Every structure is written in C-alpha cells, then in structure tokens.
Amino acid sequence: MFIYKLDNTTEIIPKIQGMIYLTNYSTNKDVEVESITGPAIYQVPTFKIGKTDQKTFLNNVATTKSPFVEFISNHFFNNANISNC
C-alpha cells in the first residue's frame, strides 16, 4: 500500500484487494472522508454494541454489496463473511 500525505490530506493507494480501515473505532477520533474512488468499494455494515440498532444493521446487511460485516464492542471487534452470518 502506498500512502501519500499532503497537509491534512492523505491519499491511500492499495497494491492488493482487501479491507482498508478509514476509521479507528478504538479511539474517539473521527476521520472525514472527502472522496473514495475505484472499483468495488463498499462500506462494510458495522454493528457497534450500544450504538447501532438491530433494524438499521440488518437493513444495511440486506442492501450492501460488501462481502463482510463487522461487530464492535468496547473490548472486541470481529469481521465476518456475510455468507457465514
């Protein structure tokens, strides 16, 4: 992966396919994403314990093209293939 930084902007160019985490959920810092371009870029449906409601999460799972989902709590996170959920 190539990472270029210019002022407050970071450009990420991956060498291979896979997940790229743009937000670190273990911190309280938010990341602002101005644009994402490229083939097959999908937001992973994420269930945060105590923050995400089940109906919204299940709707996101039903409508995403992402092959993955993610579960996050205060001390644990897991991503799983949707076909295994």
pLDDT tens, residue by residue, 29-83: 666 677 777 777 888 999 999 999 999 999 999 999 999 999 999 898 898 988 7
More confidently predicted of 13 and 2: 13
Determine whether 8 is exposed, middle or buried from the number of CB atoms within 10 Å of its CB (0-12, 13-18, 19+).
exposed
- Distance (Å, rounded) from C-alpha 81 to C-alpha 7? 36
pLDDT at 61: 94
What global pTM score does this model have? 0.65
pLDDT at 59: 96
pLDDT at 14: 75
